[in-house]
């Protein structure tokens, strides 16, 4: 039986593209490309930093990734940087998130976030989206100085709650995150918001949903 519902934050609860969307006119005609490059580099830096054992917190990587994106896209207005970074502290949550979390919370299960985000970033996003009372714990990789998808990240949930891996339902929009959670024995729900093709066929999700409403059955 599930004892804890654990959520990835960025792309799962919070829309990582809402920062650029908010300032799309300022960024320029290729704002969508800027947002995609920003997100991809943000993740890439987390993986390479972990492999090198040269940790920087996620906020520093977010700023570095934005610098790259604004330089990479010729039409991008570099003067948008300050506004984009400020917007990232207050990312929009997806529409169904508050109601889904409220229903899970009422079931007397633990509801937690497990994220690469720095503690300050996550606290700001949770607060600005009005989710504070719906989440029991916000667990950041800051604690161990390594990013997903290393097993030590997922182990934090088991250590904190003193439960077994099979007690955890883990939800993420990132297929690689689902694969990693599967590898440590979590129940896994892939929230495939972008209808992406499947991958990591040897580490499949237990279920696939198009948004988090699929958790409420």
pLDDT at residue 33, as a whole number: 98
- Is residue 131 classed as helix, strand or coil in its secondary structure? coil
Q: Please check the confidence at residue 192 and state whether its pLDDT lies above 80.
A: yes
pTM metric for this prediction:
0.94
- Give the containing element (helix H, strand E) for 190: strand 187-191
Mean pLDDT of the chain: 97
Q: What is the mean pLDDT of residues 47-70?
A: 97
How far, in Å, CA of 193 to CA of 167, rounded? 25
Domains and CATH numbers, the chain: 4-15+92-215 (3.40.50.1000), 18-88 (1.10.150.240)
Which of 8, 142, 167, 177 is labelled catalytic? 8
Within 8 A by CB and 6+ apart from 59, the residues are 118, 120, 121
Instruction: Verify whether residue 8 is a known catalytic residue.
Output: yes
Over residues 95-147, the pLDDT tens digits come to: 999 999 999 999 889 999 999 999 999 999 999 999 999 999 999 999 999 99
Q: How does residue 168 score in pLDDT terms, banded at 50, 70 and 90?
A: very high
Within 8 A by CB and 6+ apart from 153, the residues are 114, 141, 144, 146, 147, 180
Q: What is the mean pLDDT of residues 71-97?
A: 97
């Amino acid at each position: 039986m599930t004892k804890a519902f654990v959520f990835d934050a960025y792309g799962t609860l919070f829309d990582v593209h809402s920062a650029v969307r908010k300032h799309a006119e300022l960024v320029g005609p290729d704002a969508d490309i800027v947002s995609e490059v920003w997100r991809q580099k943000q993740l890439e830096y987390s993986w390479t930093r972990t492999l090198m054992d040269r940790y920087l917190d996620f906020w520093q990587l977010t700023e570095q990734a934005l610098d790259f994106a604004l330089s990479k896209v010729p039409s991008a207005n570099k003067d948008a940087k300050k506004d984009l970074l400020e917007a990232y502290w207050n990312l929009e949550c997806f529409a169904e998130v508050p109601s889904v979390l409220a229903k899970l919370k009422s079931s007397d299960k633990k509801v937690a976030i497990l994220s690469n985000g720095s503690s300050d970033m996550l606290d700001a996003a949770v607060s600005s989206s009005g989710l504070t009372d719906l989440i029991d714990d916000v667990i950041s990789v800051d604690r161990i100085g390594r990013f997903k998808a290393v097993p030590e990240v997922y182990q934090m949930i088991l250590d904190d709650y003193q439960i077994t891996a099979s007690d955890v339902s883990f939800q993420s929009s990132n297929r690689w995150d689902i694969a990693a959670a599967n590898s440590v024995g979590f129940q896994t729900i892939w929230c495939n918001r972008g209808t992406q093709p499947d991958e990591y066929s040897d580490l499949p999700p237990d279920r696939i949903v198009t948004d988090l409403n699929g958790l409420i059955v």
